[in-house]
Chains A and B, each alone.
Chain A
Amino acid sequence: SAVISQKPSRDICQRGTSLTIQCQVDSQVTMMFWYRQQPGQSLTLIATANQGSEATYESGFVIDKFPISRPNLTFSTLTVSNMSPEDSSIYLCSEVRRLNYGYTFGSGTRLTVV
């Protein structure tokens, strides 16, 4: 299975600032995804990171707030922009290379906005 290195693992940020989260996969993958997990909640898909093109966002998420880059098949970033306390969550990236098997997740970024 793939290994995803996600960083930072946690951060405490001031409201109004931005944080960029990085995910590096140990080999090329077809699909990468970004999820948000609010405190005590389940995972919600933010967007699909597309290599070489704009990300595809789910309902309720917009590019201005969560810009995503995927410059190649092994790397992606998610930026949480103009943060507010409501953005305090765990953010996770995920990849899949074979649909008939488990998706691998990064270790998550625990974000606290104060």
Chain B
Amino acid sequence: AQKITQTQPGMFVQEKEAVTLDCTYDTSDQSYGLFWYKQPSSGEMIFLIYQGSYDEQNATEGRYSLNFQKARKSANLVISASQLGDSAMYFCAMRPTFGTSYGKLTFGQGTILTVHP
């Protein structure tokens, strides 16, 4: 079974500063994928970034980067130069590559990020 833990229920950051959202995971699978999603108050799920368990480089997508530490089973999201529009709920998720849970996403509890002007 897979488990995702996000220990920060809420985070605050000043506009234009960087912020790190924590995510740790637990799995016995050797091959898996890690995702971060943003959910604004409108409820839609917006894909931000993906990291494969065998990817050697940390993933980056614009202002988003994923700090992947495989040995520590952590996949923290770093948002640089925060903007007011970044205020939202952020979910970390993972899915196995093989097995009976193939393709199924498991989500963490989420972190509410508030960006102050």
Give the secondary structure class of A's interface. strand
Give the chain A neighbours of B33 by CB distance below 8 A.
99-100
29 sample A-B contacts, Cβ–Cβ < 8 Å, listed by A number = A31-B103, A33-B103, A33-B105, A42-B107, A42-B109, A43-B91, A43-B105, A44-B107, A45-B104, A45-B105, A45-B106, A48-B103, A48-B104, A96-B103, A99-B33, A99-B95, A100-B33, A102-B47, A102-B48, A102-B50, A103-B35, A103-B105, A104-B47, A105-B45, A107-B44, A108-B43, A108-B44, A108-B45, A110-B43
Query: How many residue-residue contacts, CB under 8 A, span A and B?
Result: 55
Q: Using a Cβ–Cβ cut-off of 8 Å, how many residues does chain A contribute to the interface with B? A: 24
Give the chain B neighbours of A88 by CB distance below 8 A.
none
Give the chain B neighbours of A42 by CB distance below 8 A.
91, 107-110
Chain B nearest Cβ from A73, distance in angstroms: 15
Q: Which residues of B contact A (CB under 8 A)?
A: 33, 35, 37, 42-45, 47-48, 50, 52, 91, 95, 97, 103-110
